Amino acid sequence: MKLLGRGINLAIGTDGPASNNCLDMFREMFLVTGLAKYREKDAAAMDAADVLRMATVGGAKAMNLPDCDVLAAGKKADLIMIDLHRPNMQPENNILKNLVYSGSKENVKLTMIDGKILYEDGRFYTGFEPEKVYSRAAEIIQGMG
């Protein structure tokens, strides 16, 4: 891609329910690869490593979060843990490609922000009960109609 060759920071993100309710970074990474390949008419137009970098390091740079771009001493421990022992992640011969082309939010086992676990194995540890959040959101929407 021409922009990558020019050293321009590229980022992938989700922008919320205003235009896309999915909020799934795995889907966004897959779309980037598919759309780039379609546009360039070249199956090798977008490298999986570049796409993963856009979704991680590129996103942190775009949001001016220099302490969240990589895992290193002195930086925030923002990370996810992926379950590779799932059919969509097999075979494990190229994990980068598996993440970009086959990964799913269903593979996320753990989410950690600044060293604090906020999600693990289907349970949220945010200080808010998910059902109360969902209920309040529904109340707000009902009041808008």
Distances in Å between the Cα of 43 and the Cα atoms of 12, 34, 39, 111, 144 are 20, 9, 10, 32, 46
The closest alpha carbon to 46, from 25, 62, 32, 26, belongs to 32
Q: What is the CA radius of gyration of the chain?
A: 17
pLDDT tens digit sequence for 39-72:
999 998 899 999 999 999 999 999 999 999 999 9
Q: Report, as an integer, the average pLDDT of 73-85.
A: 94
Q: CB-side exposure of 35: number of CA atoms within 13 Å?
A: 7
The closest alpha carbon to 3, from 37, 41, 46, belongs to 46
Domain covering 2-68+76-144 in this structure, CATH number: 2.30.40
Full-model pTM: 0.83
Helix (H, G, I), strand (E, B) or coil at 30: helix
